[in-house]
Structure 1
Amino acid sequence: MSKRGYHHGNLREALVEAALKLIETKGPTGFTLSEAAKQAGVTPAAVYRHFDGREDLIAEASRQGYEIFAELMEYAYEKGQPSALASFESTGRAYLAFARRYPGHYVAMFESGISINRSPELAFVAKRAMGVLERAAEELSKHIPADKRPPASMFSAHIWAMSHGVVELFARGSPGTISPFPPEELLETGIGIYLRGLGLIAPDE
C-alpha cells in the first residue's frame, strides 16, 4: 500500500480529502476510518497520528468548510456594498453557490451532527461565517422603524433557514425531487416576499 501522503508530510490533508470524497458518496456516517485511510494510501493506524476518530476527522472537514464559507460570504457581502439590500441578497446567493461547489464540506458542516462547539477553532470560524449574514441583516433592518424591527439574529436566521431549505430540497439533487423553478429563483423570490413583508421592498419592485 502506498504511503505517499505520509511521506510527503501532508497526511492530515490527504485524510481530510479522502473523508470529503467519502462523505459525498456515502454520507458522514457511511464510511469508516479504515476506508478513509485506504483512500489516503496509509494504514488505519496512521490516522490516529492526526485524528482521535472519525468524528474528529469530520470536524476538521467541517472547520475547513466554514473557513471557505466565511470567505465566500464576506466576499459576497463586500461585493454588494454600499447597498445594504444588494449585500443581503448576495449573501443568500453565496449560500447556494457554496453548497453546490463544496458538497462534502457542506454535509460535514450541516448534516454530520458535529457540534460547532466541538472545538474553539470550529466555533470561531462558524460564528464568523454566520456573523456575515447577521451583519447584512442588521444593516438592512436599520430602514425598519425601531418598534417594528426584528432582532438581526432572528432576521438572519429566517433567511438562513430559507436558504438551507432551498439547498436541501432543490439544489442538491434530492432523489425524486424536481424543482419547479431554478433554486436561485426560488430563493430570490422567497427573500423578496420576506423583505416586502418587512416593508423593505415596495410591492411593485
Structure 2
Amino acid sequence: MADRKSYHHGNLRQALVDATAALVEESGPQSFTLAEAARRAGVSPAAPYRHFKGRDDLLEEVARQGFIEFSELLETSFDEGRPDPMAAFLRLGQAYLDFARNRPGFYMAMFESGVSIAGNADLSRAADRALGVLVSSAGALFQDMPPDSRPPARMVANHIWALSHGVVELFSRGKPGGRTPISPADMLESGVRIYLRGLGVFPR
C-alpha cells in the first residue's frame, strides 16, 4: 500500500496515476473504478476528487503521462537520425515494442481505453509529440528522393504506427512463440522493410 505520508507533500495525484496504471495492466482499461484506484493508492474513496473530476479524467492523465514518456523514448531512440535515417527509423520500432512491454498499463490507457484525445488539449499535445517523431523520422527517409516521388511523411508514419500496434496486439502478448516462432522485433522490422521497399526507399 502506498505511503499516506507522501500525500501531504503533493504526491496524491501521481500515486493515483500509478495505481490506475497498475489496475489497467491487471484487468484492462474498462474494468477499474475510481474507488479501486483510491484503495490501491491507500486513500479514501473521496480523495481522488481533489485532483480528478472522475474516472475518465484520471484515465486521460495516465494516457497523457504515457505519451510523454513514449515520446521521450522515441526521441532518444531516433537520436536525430544518427548514424543514418534508416537505422534510426528501425530503432523506433524496437522502442515501440519496448514501451508496450515495459509500460503496459500506460500503453493500454493510451491506445485501448477509448479516451478522447481530441477532447483534452494536454493529452492531444502529448500524443501529437509522439506522432511528430514518427513523421519527422519518416520524412528523413525520403530526403534524397525527388520531391515529386516522396510519399507523404504523415501517411507513412500512420502506416508504421498501425503496423507496430498490430505486432504488439497479435504477437507481443501472451506466451512468446505462441502464434509464430518469429520474434515480435523481427516481425516488425521485416514488415517495415517490405513496406518501405514498396515505396522505393531502397532497391528490391
Please tell me the TM-score bracket, short chain as reference. over 0.9
Question: RMSD across aligned C-alpha pairs, in angstroms?
Answer: 2.0
Aligned with 2:30: secondary structure? coil
Q: CA deviation at 1:192?
A: 1.0
Write the mapping of 1:1-205 to structure 2, written as runs, cut at 5 A.
3-78=4-79, 80-173=81-174, 177-203=178-204
User: What is the CA deviation profile of residues 22-79 of structure 1, one whole-angstrom value per residue up to 9, with x for unaligned ones?
Assistant: 0001111101111110011111111100001111111110011011001000001117
Distance 1:80 1:184 in 2: 20
Distance 1:60 1:175 in 2: 31
User: What is the CA deviation profile of residues 170-191 of structure 1, one whole-angstrom value per residue up to 9, with x for unaligned ones?
Assistant: 1122899523310000001111
User: What is the CA deviation profile of residues 78-135 of structure 1, one whole-angstrom value per residue up to 9, with x for unaligned ones?
Assistant: 1741411112111121111111111011000000001222322111111011100100
Distance 1:21 1:79 in 2: 33
Q: Sequence identity, in percent?
A: 54
User: What is the CA deviation profile of residues 143-178 of structure 1, one whole-angstrom value per residue up to 9, with x for unaligned ones?
Assistant: 333333211110111111111100111112289952
4+ aligned runs moved over 3 Å, structure 1: 1-5, 174-177
Distance 2:147 2:101 in 1: 37
Distance 1:193 1:46 in 2: 51
Contact 2:177 2:183 in 1 (8 A): no
TM-score w.r.t. structure 2 length? 0.92
| Amino acid corresponding to residue 112 of structure 2 in structure 1 | E
Aligned with 1:44: secondary structure? coil
Distance 1:145 1:103 in 2: 40
| Amino acid corresponding to residue 13 of structure 2 in structure 1 | R
TM-score w.r.t. structure 1 length? 0.92
Aligned length: 203
Contact 1:5 1:42 in 2 (8 A): no
Distance 1:80 1:102 in 2: 25
| Amino acid corresponding to residue 105 of structure 2 in structure 1 | G
Distance 1:190 1:116 in 2: 28
Contact 2:164 2:188 in 1 (8 A): yes
| Amino acid corresponding to residue 154 of structure 1 in structure 2 | M
Contact 1:5 1:41 in 2 (8 A): no
Q: Which runs of 5+ in 1 are unaligned?
A: none
Distance 1:71 1:92 in 2: 14
Contact 1:15 1:47 in 2 (8 A): yes
Distance 1:107 1:73 in 2: 18
Q: Which runs of 5+ in 2 are unaligned?
A: none
